[in-house]
Amino acid sequence: MTNRASCCLIVTVLATQVQAVAVPAPVLSSFMSSPPSSPPSLPGYANGEEYYDIKFGADALQKLDLYTTSAAADGGVPCILFVHGGGWSGGDKNTNKNPPDWILYLRQRGYHVASTNYRLAPNDRHPAQIDDVGRAVIYLKKNSLTYNLDPHKIVAIGTSAGGHLVSLLGTRNRPESKARVAGAINFFGPTILYEEGATPIYNLLGCKMPADPSTECHQRALHASPFTQVAEDNPHFLILHGEDDLAVPVNASKRFQDLLESAGVKSSLILVPEVDHDKDRVACGQTDGLVNTEHIYRWIHATLSPGSPCDSIVCGGGTVYGDTLDLYDSTDAFVSPYCLKVREIGSGCFDDDETLKRKAAQRDVIISGCAEAAVKGFCQKYDKASVLCQCSCASSPPPSSPPSLPA
């Protein structure tokens, strides 16, 4: 669990309460060799003020940075809280790309971005770390008028150890909790600590026998595991994990996703083939990196805007192969809160049956196998012998989109 916090995923559809979506590795390989650079400026809100080392506690590490957006001039805006990784014993809110550029990009989309520190192991063991992340949330809510942020629209994003803390933040805080968040995004963070033996976990817990049910250490590990605290009223979850992760077993994220789904929590899992721990990047400054960031933005936007256009889209399940999504026959699996974007590609039907194709740069989608395809706006309803996909939209206009990017 390292303290670098960047990751590049090529995502076509985020599936909620369906199967994980695997993303083809060849597209990712070109982004592995160079560090991410800042994405180009897009039409949207300007960056606002920046506040550093805001104290939310007496300890030297109980501080956060806040990067505001000019959208706040119009009233309270949503806020993204970034939680760094580092094995619970390292990392920092402002160490080289923390928060990474892909999160700072969200300022241009009308979000405040906060990045928090927390007390570190082994000097401070669990629950000091999660308590500090909760305190950061509470501070932002208590000072929402000062910073013009919406206290009901805070999404927490964490990488590695930060992903664990974000997941624990989401599962342990009931709706009435002051530290409750609206959504949690876990990048390759552990969620089951009572089955694993590793030095970072020992340091976090302050003991070395988390897998032995007869020990107090096991009880600490249960208390520190998001897996044991999943409940029906948890906020929306998005989990991203490399399939070749040697530091945090990817199977744990699969089990966590299954448990969230069985509890009725809206959640999505994206698996990235041939990617080890913290070796993938979400936004690299290249075209696809920016597109991927936009996918994360769409998920956040839909999570914070229930009833917005394409808040619910009903589709059959599917698996991504290259740039093609092959649909299953199922018609009732919710893909909400993520909305598949269909944008101004004309009308008519196409020959290749039961596929959705994405042009990599523009995120345009061709819907095929349909009786009629009037593909305008965000939603498309079509049917064959059975309904393959049905999307219902609210009457309000969809959120603005970035300009088409060169292929």
Euclidean distance between CA atoms 241 and 383, whole angstroms: 34
Provide CATH 3.40.50.1820 ranges for the chain: 21-304
Structure confidence at residue 153 (pLDDT): 96
pLDDT tens-digit profile, the chain (407 residues): 543 333 333 232 233 332 333 333 222 222 222 233 333 344 468 888 999 999 999 999 999 999 999 888 777 899 999 999 999 999 999 865 567 777 777 888 899 999 999 999 999 999 999 999 999 999 999 999 999 999 999 999 998 999 999 999 999 999 999 999 999 999 889 999 999 789 999 999 999 999 999 999 999 999 999 999 999 999 999 988 877 888 898 899 999 999 999 999 999 887 766 667 765 444 333 334 454 566 678 789 888 876 433 333 323 222 222 233 333 222 222 232 223 333 222 222 223 333 333 222 222 233 332 222 332 222 333 322 222 233 332 233 333 333 333 33
Closest CA relative to residue 193, chosen from 182, 184, 202, 183:
202
> Quick one: fold of 21-304?
Rossmann fold (3.40.50)
Euclidean distance between CA atoms 223 and 120, whole angstroms: 18
pTM of the model: 0.68
Structure confidence at residue 354 (pLDDT): 31
Q: Answer yes or no: are the C-beta atoms of 268 and 239 closer than 8 Å.
A: yes
Euclidean distance between CA atoms 170 and 191, whole angstroms: 12
Structure confidence at residue 274 (pLDDT): 66
Structure confidence at residue 241 (pLDDT): 83
Q: Answer yes or no: are the C-beta atoms of 360 and 407 closer than 8 Å.
A: yes
Structure confidence at residue 299 (pLDDT): 85
Number of neighbours of residue 353 by Cβ within 10 angstroms: 12
Structure confidence at residue 103 (pLDDT): 73
Strands (E), 101-250: 112-116, 149-159, 183-187, 236-242
